[in-house]
Structure 1
Amino acid sequence: MATPENSDPTYHASYAFPDGDLVLQSKEGTLFRVHSLVMKLASQEPFETMLELGSKDGQENGDDARIPMFESDEVLLAMLNIIYPNGDMGQHPSSLGFAKQLLAAGDKFHMNKVVNMPACSYCFDVYAIACQYDWEEVANEATFAVLACDKKTWRTRGRSLEKESFDKLLDLHAQRKTAMKEALGFGGHYPVMWTRIKNKVHANCHKHWGPKTNRWTGWELLTLHVLLQMEMVSFGGKIRDRDFMDKDDLWSYLIEDECHECGKAEIFDKYNLHVEVIRVLNSVPKTV
């Protein structure tokens, strides 16, 4: 991978790779020449679709693939700094609002490395101050970023919080796991919708599906995997990875589960099931 050249003023100085084959354009119009391979390795399907569209436009115009982004210069630069091997994201985000924008961008493009960035741990400090002065709105905003921190960060940074403030975070974490478990049991306030996850083969199967009517070994394993990942990162962590359904042979167990109505296997649509799990994950409580 070549060293960036800073001679072209139309590109951001840190991301003007001469061998880059993809150009990202920020909301302000700044251009970032990057490598599509790096973006593909870091992102999931939403970004891959944009890459295909950008490549098509580039071929028609005889230029490099160009993708217009809705993110600002600051957010786009931070995102690239995180996903590039030689990127520098050692500093804390400049503000809570910026941290939220960066997390939103990471979630939008399914970039797990961005969503779980260590720099977001500074939001524990913001949360502590907000609790001290009863700034409820700020505390809730900080909580959103805190949920993206891993268990190790909770242990180390949580020590700096007042017991009452930290207990609120622990209670929220427990509520999220309980709500997710209920949802995967087709109950609670955010139930998994059978119509969204079933395979086309079972289009005419309409009975209620869940542990009460049928024992699904694969489904129980899915529930266990989801809850274990939430225990590590409350925001979801690896659950949001595109290959989550394939980890630890999870999908091989799920396709063996049989329909309670027709008796056929392959009940679930793999892609739609993953999308539905993430939908529920995004629906469970996020604020203290």
Structure 2
Amino acid sequence: MADQSNDGTDTPSSRNYSKSEFHPSYSDPEADIVLQSGDDVQFRVHSLIMKMASGFFRDMLGLPGNPDGEEPIVMKEKADIIVALLDIIHPNVALPKIRPELIWDVVATADRYDMPRAIETMSHIVAFNAGQLDPIMTYSLACRYGWEEVAKATSATTLDINLSTLDESQLSMMDGRSLFRLQNLHRTRRDKLFELMDIKVTRDSPCSHVVFYHCVRETKVEHVNQCCIDRAISPLWILMKQSVFKEMEAFPSGRPLYDDNFWHRREFGGLWSSGFGGCCSGHCFVFDRLNTKTEVLRVLNSENLPKTI
């Protein structure tokens, strides 16, 4: 049997065939049954292989008066779906490179025909190619078929997606629990960073909150000046927190916070220039733009914010 590995762009399974034409990779005259796809491509296959791979075919071919190989077994799936499954279940055939838009249908078809080995193999194919696949589709598929490690890994790649922008077709891929888990991950990251931007004035390190090390008079490290306390309640800082909250709502990865353009927004200008007199240095500039960005990103990337479901 020919090697079935392909690049997904110019494959026998994706070409057009005339009615009742046999797929070139599955035309063995010694095969004892014929499958026919919904687009009229036929496949000569061995019943033993089909019965070993599929509970559906095992039951059907075990019935009295089962097909004798003359009449094709008509399937509603198109040829490119069927050939992908045949490549998976046949021994000594390289795993197919399945086009991304076909993956959902291939797994669903394997499920329909009770093909557990094919479903397991597809889990590895999906995991290996996850970086090239749609994150929502991959996450939904992994949740549906219990691929927990794939679901966890893929949930992290959804953090650059605003879930409120998903359309009905994307939402319908997920059951209620899967959607809740993903929403909870996104929401928790947003809310947790907002909480941890309540400034702590401390010399302790590391700290879970955004930290500004306080001014110290004489040698009493426990003494906190008013200028340090005012940092945490500054209206300008509250504005900054609210802006970060909005960005995290749209992109729970926090991607916009890495961009200097965010920190140079006009509305933050007063934050970098406002100071308080009367501290140990006479005039304390409360916020530094670069240090503030660095400190917020430290908290964003800390273990205090979940990265997966």
Question: What is the TM-score when the length of structure 1 is the normalising length?
Answer: 0.50
When Rg is computed on C-alpha atoms for both structures, the one with the higher figure is: 2
